[in-house]
Amino acid sequence: MTETTFFVSAPGKIIIFGEHSAVYGKPAIAAALSLRAYLQVSRNDNENEITLKFPDIDLSYTWNKHDIPWTEIRKFITYENGKPVTTEELVPEIVDKISNLLGDIPSRTHFTTCLSFLYLYTHLCTEDVPGNTFCIRSTLPIGAGLGSSASTGVCLAAALSVLSGKINSPTTSIHDKSSKDETHQLEFIDNWSLMGEKCFHGNPSGIDNAVATYGGAVMFQRVSVPSQPSIRTTMRNFPSMKLLLTNTKIPRSTADLVGGVAKRNSEYPKLTSPILDAMGNLASEAYKIMTAPEFGHVELETLRELVEINHGLLVAIGVSHPALEKVKVIADINKIGATKLTGAGGGGCAITLIDESSPIESIHKAINEFGREGFDSFETSLGGKGVAMLTKHDVSEENRNVVFSLEEFSALKDSISIEHQIGTSGTNNWKYW
Ligand SMILES: Nc1ncnc2c1ncn2[C@@H]1O[C@H](COP(=O)(O)OP(=O)(O)O)[C@@H](O)[C@H]1O
Ligand SMILES: C[C@@](O)(CCOP(=O)(O)O)CC(=O)O
Ligand SMILES: [Mg+2]
C-alpha cells in the first residue's frame, strides 16, 4: 500500500578519522549521531504540483510535473529490472535538462539543493506519481561538517523510492537485522543518496551516505575501480568515548573545501599524496585500536595522539580555519583532551576526545571559553540508528493529527520541538529497513 503522508528520517555523522583522505580511497572511521534530518511527504491537492518546502534554508519552490521533460531525460537512464541504475558520474545531459528548469534560481545553495532533489526525482519517480510536498527539518546544524547534506539525500532517496514502489516501506521497529531483502533496499537508498550528494560536490567518498543509511559506526573505504562497491565494515563494539563537539558556526561549503584539496593535490602531488596516505594509515591504526578486545586508558591515550596527528595533517592540506584553531588552543590550554576538525573543515565543527583524567572544572572552563568566542559546545552520543520511516499506523490515533500536520511541522521552532513532536527517541513507533 502506498502511503499518502509519511516521514523519513536519517542521522548525521561525525568523522572521527580520515575526512578528505576518504575521497582519495583511504580508509576512514565515522559514527552516526543522534541529531537527524526529518522529511515529511504529503500529497498535494493539485496532483500535478511538486513542492519543496525547506524552511531551514528558506527554500520554497513548486514545479508542475508536466514541465519536466520526462521522455528526454529517460533516454539517458539505464534500467535493470525496472529500477534505474546509478552512474559513476552525474549524467551531464540530465543535469542540463534539470538546470533549464531551474533557470532563474539566484542562490547557489538553493540551486544545488533543487538540482539534487530533481536529479533524484527524475530517476526514482515517473510522471505517474502524484505530486507531493516535501518538507525537511533538521536537528543538525547545516553546513557544519556533520553530514546534513547526506542525511537529507538519504531521506529523499528513501522517500522517492517508496513513493514510486522501487522499494517497500519497512515493517519492523527492530533496527539490527540483516535480511537479504532489507539489505538490498538499504543498498538502493545508499547508492541513490550518493547520486544526490554528487550534486552537492562532484566527488563524495560515500562515507556520510553510508552512515546516514545504515547508522551505527563504520570503517569505510571507497574503491577506485568504477562499479565496485565501497568497503563498509560495521564496528559493532565501538568503544565508549567522551566526545565534546564544538560548532564554530563559521559557514563553509563542503564543495569548496573538497575542491581546495584537489587543487593542492594537483599543484603539489609529491607533498599531498604522502599526507593523504598518512591519514589512511592513521585510520587503519585507529581501527585496530578501537576493535582490540581490550580497550582502556592506554588505548584512549593512543587515540588522542592519533586525533592530534590527524588534525595536523588536515591543517597541512589547507582545510582548517582560525576559529577551529581557537577551539584547539582553548582545549589544549585547559588540557581537556585532543582536538581535531571534523567533516570538511574550513569552519563548522571540531571534536575533542576528552581526557578522562581531566578535572570537570577544566572542562567547564573550556566550555565557557568556547561560549565567549560564540561557539556552541555539547557532549554527543554516537551510534544513532539508520534511515527510518514513520506512517500514520505507527502513531497513536490521538497524536496523529498533530504529528502529521504539515503546517505544524514546517513551523516548529527548534531542534527540541522537532525531536519532541516526531523524534525517533519518542513514543512514535519508527520502522527500519
Ligand atoms: N534541513 C535541510 N533542508 C534543506 N537542505 C538541507 C538541509 N540540511 C542540509 N541541506 C543541504 O545540504 C547543504 C549543506 O551540505 P554541506 O555543505 O555538505 O554541509 P554538511 O553536510 O556538513 O552539513 C545545504 O546547503 C543544503 O543544500
Ligand atoms: C570532506 C569529506 O570527507 C566529508 C564531508 O563532510 P561534510 O559535508 O562536511 O559533513 C568529503 C567526503 O568524504 O565525501
Ligand atoms: Mg555534506
Q: Compute the distance from residue 344 Cα to the ligand 2 centre, in Å.
A: 5
- 137 with 56, same domain: the answer is yes
Phi then psi for residue 251, to 5 deg, are -70, 150
Q: Say if residue 324 is in the same domain as residue 423.
A: no
**Of the ligands numbered here, which is closest to the C-alpha atom of 19?**
2
Choice among 9-23, 108-122, 375-389 with the minimum mean pLDDT? 375-389
pLDDT at 1 over 60: no
Do 127 and 232 belong to one domain?
yes
Residue 201 has pLDDT above 90, yes or no: no
Q: Does 186 lie in the same domain as 270? A: no
- Taken as a whole, the chain contains a residue count of 433
351 in ligand 2 pocket by Cβ < 6 Å?
A: no
- Does the beta carbon of 385 lie inside 6 Å of ligand 2? no
- Domain with residue 126: its CATH number is 3.30.230.10
Q: Based on the fold, state whether residues 376 and 397 are members of the same structural domain.
A: no
| ipTM score for this prediction | 0.99
pLDDT in tens, 242-254: 999 999 999 999 9
Taking CA atoms, 200 is separated from 114, 330, 377, in Å, by 10, 33, 27
Cell of 58: 528558506
Q: Are residues 109 and 210 in the same domain?
A: yes
For the cut 70, the answer to whether the pLDDT of residue 180 exceeds it is no
Looking at the fold, whether 81 and 188 belong to one and the same domain comes out as yes
Atom of ligand 2 nearest to the CA of 342: 9
Indicate if 252 and 318 belong to the same structural domain: yes
What amino acid occupies position 144?
A: A
pLDDT exceeds 80 at position 177: no
Q: Are 414 and 35 in contact (CB under 8 A)?
A: no
**Least-confidence region, from 133-147, 166-180, 273-287, 366-380:** 166-180
Domain stop point among 361, 382, 403 = 382
Question: Can you give the CATH number for the domain in which 321 is found?
Answer: 3.30.70.890
- In angstroms, the CA 366 to CA 360 distance is 10
DSSP structure string for 311-326: HHHHHHTT---HHHHH
User: Considering 360, 382, 404, which residue would you say is the last residue of a domain?
Assistant: 382
Give the ligand whose atoms come closest to the C-alpha of residue 205. Answer: 2
Q: What is the DSSP string of 330-394?
A: HHHHTT-EEEEE-TT-SSSEEEEEE-TTS-HHHHHHHHHHHHHTT-EEEE--B--B--EEEEGGG
CB atoms within 10 A of CB 5: 18
Torsion of CA 150, 57, 139, 30, to 10 degrees: 30
Residues 287, 358, single domain; the answer is: yes
Is 208 assigned a catalytic role? yes
How many angstroms from the chain centroid is the CA of residue 422?
19
For the CA of 200, the nearest atom of ligand 2: 8
Q: Which three cell numbers stand for residue 64?
A: 508542475
One-letter amino acid for residue 43 of the chain? R
pLDDT at residue 175 in the model: 63
Domain of 303 in residue numbering reads as 241-382
Q: Of residues 56, 190, 208, 355, which has the active-site annotation?
A: 208
Residues 200 and 99 in one domain: yes
Overall domain count for the chain: 2
Which of 205, 232, 319 maximizes ligand 2 atoms within 8 Å of its Cβ, making it the mutation to test the pocket?
205
Residues having CB closer than 6 A to ligand 1 are 37, 54, 56-57, 109, 112-113, 136, 138, 142-149, 152, 200, 253-254, 343
